[in-house]
Structures are given as structure tokens and as C-alpha cells.
Structure 1
């Protein structure tokens, strides 16, 4: 039976004419993306990638018998085997782990608690509290270090006077001048400055929890802090994991605050010496100590490997288990 187009004398449309050319379906190449990314890529390569590669390369070179050449793992053997180098390195590494653990045990739990309180719907002046807690993060580490040195000074500091007002002056001690308390004091200063970062990240994660989840919990009678521990906390575990790895990377790259408060020697008696200050003294030299670029690059390479190992452990072991809690 003839169709309507055939009856009208029209030529039936062929299938190949109903389909568009395959070339027309191809998306245009977006060269403008590369153009916009190129300046940032050039700057990042010049400032970060090339110095990192050069530092790693320099850790395998040193001066032997007046000749600068390749020594393989010789610098690493000196760092771990020579008593003088090994003592300073292991002391700095131990202090760095203590510095990191204090941030993990004190800073992050306080940040989570502050975020949980700020997320209470009926809390007033929430914006003021957020700003006040986050404000020290915006201050220069030089200002923070100098202010806290003045506050904790046993001669002209205000800490003894303030503690005397509440009857606790007997607890005051020159914490920054004692080897057994200097590292803890500097760590707590750092906690005070940067506690706003985990607070804001956790606060954003709490606000991102769907309202349906909270309403379902309330219908089941789960409210208050019980709701936070049973419902909200498991849902913000991915954010807590990110904060933990950022704390790890930041603490093992730390240098500025300890340098400002305790100086390059990280006193007293190197009790606040971490890998960053050890790297600074070794590479650039300080006072009577001459700079050694090769050994400084070796310490920098060890720092890079420690950070790389920690980040890899998080990405390939911990993050995979946390994906089940993501929305």
C-alpha cells in the first residue's frame, strides 16, 4: 500500500538524510580553558614544581674532596648515621610529631565542638561568634607570636596579673623558657590561632546535612547532643578526615610561628626544634653555623617523603572507607 508521500509524487526520505553528520556532533575544542589555566600553571610550576625537583636532585649531590658531584644516598647515610646530625634530626622529628598530636587532640576537637554549638538553630549572635573565633586565623604569625610573647612574659606580661585576679597566680611559670613546657606552649598558641579553620569547615559540613535527615531523627526522638553523636557526627566524618590530613600537612610544614616565638635556634635547648627550623638552620646557616645546601635539601626530601606517605595513607586507605558517609 502506497504511503502519502508516494501518492503525492514525493521522493521518500532516505535514512542517511535523517541523521546528522557525525562530524557535526563532535564538541568544539575548548582552547580557552587552556589559555586561562596556562598563567596559573606557569606560576605554579616555577614556584613549586621546579624548586621541588631541584631540591630532590640536590639531596643526592655533595662536595667530596673539593669536588661537587653525585653521592647517591650518602647524604641520607650522614643524616641518619652521623651522631651529630642524627641527634638533631630525631629530636626535630619527635617534636614535630608532638606538635602535630597536640593539634589533633586539642585543636580539631575544639573546632568540632564550636561548630556543633554554632549550628544550634536558636543560638543568637552566631555571626559574631564565627567572626571572633576565625579572626586570629587572618592575623600575621609575626603579630601572633609577638603578642603571645608579651602576654606570657614573666617580667612585663599580663598573664601573671590575670591569673592573680582569679587566684591562680601560683600556677604561672615561664612556660616559653622551660624545656619541658615550651613546645606545649607554642603548640597551644598555634591552636589558638588556627582553631577557626576546622570550626568553619565542620560548620559548613553540618549545614550541608539534608533537613530530611534531621527531621527523621527528631521524629524518632533523637535530639540535642544525642542527635549530634548518633546522626551528625557520622555524616561529617569525611570533613573530619580532610581536616586531619590538612592538619598533618600544615604541621609538618610548620616553621613561621616557632621561628617568631623561639627564634631559629628553637630554644630553650632545642626543645621546640621541628623539621622546619632544622631545615632553615641547615640550609641557610645561623650565627656560627654555616649553611649546607646538600644536607638542607636532604632534610627537605625527608619532609616531602613523610608528607607524601601521610597523604597517600589517607587517600588510599582512609578516604575509601569514608565514602560510605558521603551524601
Structure 2
């Protein structure tokens, strides 16, 4: 018995002591509000009292004509907002990272800083600045296009239903392309020099080396960037609100789940706020993000592990 007790590993109480403050803070500001939101979505306000109604708020949100049209419109816009980032932001970030990782490129530190600076700007500053730039009345975009002989291409992009959401998505791409660039750049720098030297000995250089050697090795980083893009886009709110307001004009063409949640929960202009229905929208957003993250973690990440070195 004495031998068994001596070989038993000691209980490391210090781990719990060091983790306790972080766990308490995370629980207070994240876990408890999440469960309170889920609980609020199951109730409604009747004569200044909260009455349990089960899933009726979700039935109202998904099936009632007054709400379902706005919800599905916001969800569709959110999906398009995400697709633009996936098809434009992340490929450009990978391309920039590949260029900046080239030892032949001069002033790499300057370029990295210049591209990354917009990511530290406030959403309000970025949105208001681009709203001024693209204004057909006092913006500089018409003059710049006129300077290069392309003034005929200018349109009030933020004022047209067909272009407003795509324009805002591209503004967001401009602001945050530095994040995937830096993550991919760090992943490229972590590739062992021995692998690259062996590839050069086999005659694999230049773009062929990037496609055949580097890109497969940074696929795990690309996967992480993709899921971060998904979570960030389906939580988006600030840029749309700062440029188009809570009504997400023109005619709700830039309305996403974040702005729809804001109007429903807090109310706006003549629309009265409904915290219970707003909580149902927040719960739907949480479930969408949870499903997307679960698909990545259990379906995609396992396949990407084979590329890790």
C-alpha cells in the first residue's frame, strides 16, 4: 500500500487556483448571460409579467409573415457577407502573405504595417470615412475616377440596393485583410528551412514551391482563418450600423442578423422593442455559429491535421 501511495501522482491544486479567476470572470460575463438569453427566448411579456411560452417566439420568428421575411432576408444577407469575405478577403490575405514572405521583397516591414493598420481602426471611423469617400455629393471617389478617365463607372454604391451590401463587405475586406495575411505569414515563416531546401534541390522553386510545398503546410492556418471569418461575419453589426444605420438601408438591403437583432431587442423609431423576441434572434445566431464551428471542428479539422508537421 505504501508503494502504491508513493507512485500515485500528486494532486496539482495550484492549477485550479490559477485558473479560478479566469473561469469566474468568463462565467460571469459569458456563460451566465448566454443562459439568461436562452431563458429569455422562452418567455414573453404579458401584463408586465414574464410568461413561459416555450418555442412560440421561434415559431413567430420563422413562420409569421411579420417577422419571417425580415429574418430570412437578414440571414441571406449575412450569408452573402460571409461569402464575399471567404472569396475575396482570405485569398488576398494568402497572396499578400506569400509575397511578404519572399526574401527578395524589400521594405517588407513597411508593407506589413501599412496593410495591418486598418485592422486597428474603429468600425465607426472606417465606416464614416468610406461613407464620405463614396458620397456622390462631396466624396473623393468621383474625382479620383474622373482623374483616370473612369468617372462613368461611378455609382452611388451605398445608396443602391443591388450594390450596397457588396460594397460594405468589400469595405470590411479592406479593413480586415491584414488579419489573415499576418496569420498565414506567421505560418509560412514556421515552415522548416530543411523542407524548402530539399524542394529546391528537387527543382521545385518559385510559385511551384508555394503551391506544392507551402500551401499544403499552411492549410491548418487557413482552416482557422475560415472559421474565424465565419464567426466574425455572423456576429457583424458595427460597420453596417455606422454606415447605414439601424434600418440597414436602402430598404433593408444591408440588413444582417446583428442589425435585425438590435431593432427587435431595443426598438427603433416607431418599432417597439421586444427583448424576448430579440433573445430568440440572438439564440438563432448562437445556434448558427455553433453548428458552423462544430462542422469545422469535427468534420474539417481532423482532415487538416495530416498536413501538420
Q: Give the TM-score taking structure 2 as reference length.
A: 0.96
Q: In the alignment, does 2:266 pair up with 1:273?
A: no
Runs of 4+ in 1 over 6 A off after TM superposition: none
SS of 1:248's equivalent? helix
Q: 1:168 aligns with which of 135, 141, 150?
A: 150
Give the alignment of 1:216-255 within 5 angstroms.
216-255=198-237
SS of 2:272's equivalent? coil
- In structure 2, C-alpha distance between the alignment counterparts of 1:312 and 1:240, rounded to whole Å: 17
The Cα of 1:33 is off from its aligned counterpart by 2.9
SS of 1:62's equivalent? strand
Q: 2:54 aligns with which of 68, 72, 78?
A: 72
Q: 1:134 aligns with which of 111, 116, 128?
A: 116
Q: 2:277 aligns with which of 295, 306, 314?
A: 295
- In structure 1, C-alpha distance between the alignment counterparts of 2:203 and 2:250, rounded to whole Å: 55
Q: 2:242 aligns with which of 237, 251, 260?
A: 260
The Cα of 1:29 is off from its aligned counterpart by 3.7
Give the alignment of 1:52-201 within 5 angstroms.
52-64=34-46, 67-201=49-183
Q: In the alignment, does 2:298 pair up with 1:316?
A: yes
- In structure 2, C-alpha distance between the alignment counterparts of 1:192 and 1:47, rounded to whole Å: 31
Q: 1:212 aligns with which of 174, 194, 218?
A: 194
SS of 1:191's equivalent? helix
- In structure 1, C-alpha distance between the alignment counterparts of 2:217 and 2:136, rounded to whole Å: 46
- In structure 2, C-alpha distance between the alignment counterparts of 1:234 and 1:262, rounded to whole Å: 40
Q: Which residue of 2 aligns with 1:34?
A: 16
- In structure 2, C-alpha distance between the alignment counterparts of 1:167 and 1:131, rounded to whole Å: 31
- In structure 2, C-alpha distance between the alignment counterparts of 1:296 and 1:215, rounded to whole Å: 57
In structure 1, stretches of 5+ residues that fail to align are 1-19
Q: Deviations over 1:3-22 (max 9, x none)?
A: xxxxxxxxxxxxxxxxx955
- In structure 2, C-alpha distance between the alignment counterparts of 1:88 and 1:288, rounded to whole Å: 16
Q: Which residue of 2 aligns with 1:10?
A: none
SS of 1:225's equivalent? helix
SS of 1:42's equivalent? helix
The Cα of 1:25 is off from its aligned counterpart by 4.8
The Cα of 1:63 is off from its aligned counterpart by 3.0
The Cα of 1:121 is off from its aligned counterpart by 1.1
Q: Deviations over 1:157-199 (max 9, x none)?
A: 1111111111111111110111110001100110000000000
Q: 1:51 aligns with which of 25, 33, 37?
A: 33
- In structure 1, C-alpha distance between the alignment counterparts of 2:18 and 2:130, rounded to whole Å: 43
How many aligned positions are there?
A: 309
The Cα of 1:212 is off from its aligned counterpart by 1.2
Q: Deviations over 1:34-69 (max 9, x none)?
A: 233222222211111111001011111113577521
The Cα of 1:31 is off from its aligned counterpart by 2.9
- In structure 2, C-alpha distance between the alignment counterparts of 1:43 and 1:151, rounded to whole Å: 42
- In structure 2, C-alpha distance between the alignment counterparts of 1:27 and 1:167, rounded to whole Å: 76
SS of 2:51's equivalent? strand
In structure 2, stretches of 5+ residues that fail to align are none
